[in-house]
Amino acid sequence: MYYTGRLEVFNENFLVADQKLTYALMHCNPQSESNLRKILKFLIPVKLSIGVLPRRTLLEKYNLLEYADIVTSLRRGDLRLLKQALDRHEDQLLKCGVYLVLEKLELQVYRRLVKKIHIIQREKEPSKAHQIKLEVLVKTLQWLGITMDVDEVECIMACLIYKNLIKGYFAHKSKVLVLSKQDPFPKLNGKPV
């Protein structure tokens, strides 16, 4: 199950990979920490791609701290931290074969960032909480050290809407992302991004 789960990771069939690698983990001898670690090296990126974040204690227990900053970036919506973590551990993640899987988590980080902006805006102006100016997103990304113009941000937001990571639409004239008033951030529920 471990090897067929790995194959499913390479084929980007994350739901099947999750099932197979979880089965391998559950049926692995608990005394064999090296085997558990090998399984987790693939299972953690799969779980991250379907929206399940591991606890830091798990990462520490099996010495998988290369995933710690990636998990933190997903929790915070910190794109800069994700890029730094991927750069720092690039060789190790490429050897393991999970670098591209982790690189695709960028959309989840953007989603989290938009969600945080939405929460802050809801506290400041509850009546306009569902309207996020693209310029606010551009300034937030600049604060994170990422230079993008409004068109690039609009493209990323369109991708988030298309992949059903956020619900909403664009008001092009006013350059505003209008989020759904009901459930603007649907739960991933194990769906791969």
| Residue pLDDT, tens place only, 48-83 | 998 899 999 999 999 999 999 999 999 998 999 999
Tell me what pLDDT residue 125 has.
86
- For residue 65, count other CB atoms closer than 10 A to its CB: 11
CB atoms within 10 A of CB 77: 20
190 has a pLDDT exceeding 80: no
Produce one character per residue of 32-54: b if its CB has 16 or more CB atoms within 10 Å, e if not. Answer: eeeebebbbbbbbbbbbbbbeeb
Q: Which pair of structure tokens corresponds to residue 67?
A: 């995933």
Cβ pair 73, 81 in contact under 8 A: yes
Inform me whether the pLDDT recorded for 193 exceeds 70: no
Decide which of 103, 135, 161 is a domain's last residue.
103
Residue 193 is assigned to a structural domain of this protein: no
Same-domain check for residues 169 and 146: yes
**Average pLDDT for 163-180:** 89
Last residue of a domain, one of 84, 103, 122: 103
Binning pLDDT at 50, 70 and 90, where does residue 189 land? low
Structure tokens, 115 = 């969600």
**Residues 18-38: pLDDT tens digits?**
999 999 999 999 999 999 999
Q: Are residues 1 and 24 in the same domain?
A: yes
Angle at alpha carbon of residue 117, lines to 114 and 122, rounded to 5°: 125
Within a domain: 187: no
How many other C-beta atoms can be found within 10 angstroms of the C-beta atom of residue 59? 18
- Asked if residue 109 belongs to a domain, the reply is yes
**Do the domain assignments include residue 166?**
yes
Is the same domain home to 85 and 125? Answer: no
Q: Label residue 183 left, alpha or beta by phi (over 0 means left) and psi (-120 to 50 means alpha).
A: left
Task: Assess whether pLDDT exceeds 70 at residue 89.
Answer: yes
Of 48, 75, 103, the last residue of a domain is: 103
Q: Which range of residues forms the domain containing residue 27?
A: 1-103
3-state secondary structure labels for all residues of the chain = CHHHHHHHHHCCCHHHHHHHHHHHHHCCCCCCHHHHHHHHHHHHHHHHHCCCCCCHHHHHHCCCHHHHHHHHHHHHCCHHHHHHHHHHCHHHHHHHCCHHHHHCCHHHHHHHHHHHHHHHHHHHCHHHCCEEEHHHHHHHHHHCCCCCCHHHHHHHHHHHHHCCCCCEEEECCCCEEEECCCCCCCCCCCCCC
pLDDT score at 129: 81
